[in-house]
């Protein structure tokens, strides 16, 4: 149990989503209801002693539903007994894999139609999208993404999360004189994070990617249980 709790802590530290501001909320059961703001309240200026006028309800519900992730890591009894760092190495490998899996779930989500996987920001309804970007030729599309966030009153500084390949392409941009292209102020102001959990096999050609811009502190990740590590001579097919 102690190792399981430590594994979760390590995974959190390796998760780009958490480092970018996403909040961890404990879940006591398989479902958790949270309040969300559907509409902003209407403020009116009135004369003295004038009664209140009822406005549209501003609060709705968000339902967090637990999903299960697991891995089977075989290791020989001899290696576990004779290697001084076997358990530490396994813990580091598992925490890195769990951190990447958490980021993929938060940012990209699972396969369409697979109810066992989270949806992810990429696949959520009512999320603004800027499409037909093509190969990055400048920072204009990032400026457009930041602008869409600000139209919805997103607080600054915003977060941009992309695959390392995207940032590599941006680093190589040049102006007409062959000098490095200067990024736009809205891009400079945003905090940037990179993760390989963002897909680079999108689109018809199977070589496209995406980036996410927004206030990551408004993202909530529910965790029901600490990681459970079962040690013993088990076959993967017999573990449920």
Local confidence pLDDT in tens for the 240 residues of the chain: 444 555 566 666 788 999 999 998 888 888 888 888 887 777 888 888 887 777 776 788 888 888 888 777 777 777 777 777 777 787 778 788 888 888 999 998 877 667 788 888 888 888 888 887 888 889 999 999 999 999 988 988 899 999 999 999 999 999 999 999 999 999 999 999 999 999 898 888 888 999 999 999 999 988 876 656 656 655 555 555
pTM: 0.80
Question: In this predicted structure, what is the pLDDT of residue 212?
Answer: 94
Q: What is the pLDDT of residue 2?
A: 43
- Residue 1: per-residue pLDDT: 40
Extract the tokens encoding 236. Answer: 């993967």
Phi then psi for 77, rounded to 5 degrees? -65, -35
Q: Is 2 left (phi over 0), alpha (psi -120 to 50) or beta?
A: alpha
């Amino acid at each position: 149990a102690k190792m399981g709790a430590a594994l979760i802590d390590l995974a959190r530290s390796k998760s780009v989503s958490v480092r970018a501001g996403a909040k961890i909320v404990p879940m006591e059961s398989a479902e958790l209801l949270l309040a969300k703001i559907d509409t902003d309240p209407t403020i009116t200026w009135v004369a003295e002693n004038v009664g209140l006028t009822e406005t549209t309800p501003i609060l709705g519900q968000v339902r967090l539903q637990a999903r299960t992730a697991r891995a089977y890591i075989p290791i020989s009894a001899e290696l576990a007994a004779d290697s001084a760092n076997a358990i530490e190495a396994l813990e580091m490998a598992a925490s890195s894999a769990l951190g990447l899996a958490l980021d993929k779930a938060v940012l990209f989500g699972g396969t369409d139609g697979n109810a066992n996987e989270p949806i992810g920001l990429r696949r959520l309804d009512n999320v603004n999208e800027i499409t037909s970007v093509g190969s990055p030729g400048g920072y204009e599309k990032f400026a457009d993404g930041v602008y869409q966030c600000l139209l919805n009153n997103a607080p600054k500084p915003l977060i941009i999360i992309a695959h390392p390949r995207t940032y590599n392409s941006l680093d190589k941009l040049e102006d007409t004189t062959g000098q490095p292209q200067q990024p736009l102020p809205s891009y400079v102001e945003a905090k940037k994070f990179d993760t390989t959990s963002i897909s680079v096999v999108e689109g018809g050609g199977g070589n496209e990617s995406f980036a996410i811009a927004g206030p990551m502190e408004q993202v909530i990740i529910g965790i029901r249980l600490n990681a459970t590590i079962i040690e013993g001579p088990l076959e993967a097919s017999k573990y449920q």
